[in-house]
Structure 1
Amino acid sequence: MTRHSGARSALVTIIHGATDIRVRIEDDGRGADTGPDGTDTGHAANDRQGPRTGPGAGPTGSGIRGMAERAKAFGGELTARNRPSGFSVEARLPLAPPTTGPPAASSPDPGPPQALTD
């Protein structure tokens, strides 16, 4: 966080609801560059190093786009936006529905170990 935004502090909020869990991180850093449509470009403001390359880069990396794709893969969503005094990222992930019915059958007990004979 400090490397990309220059933030000195952050607030992490976790909200456990009946159907989902939300995690919000707000910092006091520079924010992020936004494209012409107002969406996050994945680069910290004033960080002009360009797109990352190598291991961890791209859609499975640790940037905002990668986090959004991972949230979506779990049926959730991620929002990221500049604030007047920093940046905010919030992930909403659905909780698994409760299981109904009897528990899944387990493998039968194989009993005590048997000696091998020729």
Structure 2
Amino acid sequence: MEVTYHKEGEYYLPDLIVPEAPKVGRYGMLRRRFLRENRNGTYTAMLLTGKLNQHLEEIDRQANEMMETLTAQMAKQEGVNESLKAENQMKWVGLMNNIQAAAEEIVLKELVYR
């Protein structure tokens, strides 16, 4: 990382660049909190090298993709489909909530809290 300076009056001031705010969702924020509380050395190293935001965005993207994939696979395996939704909406909602909770538990264990 090269630091450049500009002169203002008699003083040289560094040209500081504010990093772009990360575009992370829920899983990225959970990962940040996990790293800060449980892997402080890794968190600090990534923060100082400028790799933290990229890492959080990648984890968030992977977690969302994994949630979609797992939810679809588990719904197919359990026989939860559109015809069930048309016949018995409350049963469909209950099954989908259970499937999403199970998929989220897997995503959190495999990606976020590792």
TM-score (norm 2): 0.21
**Higher helix residue share:** 2
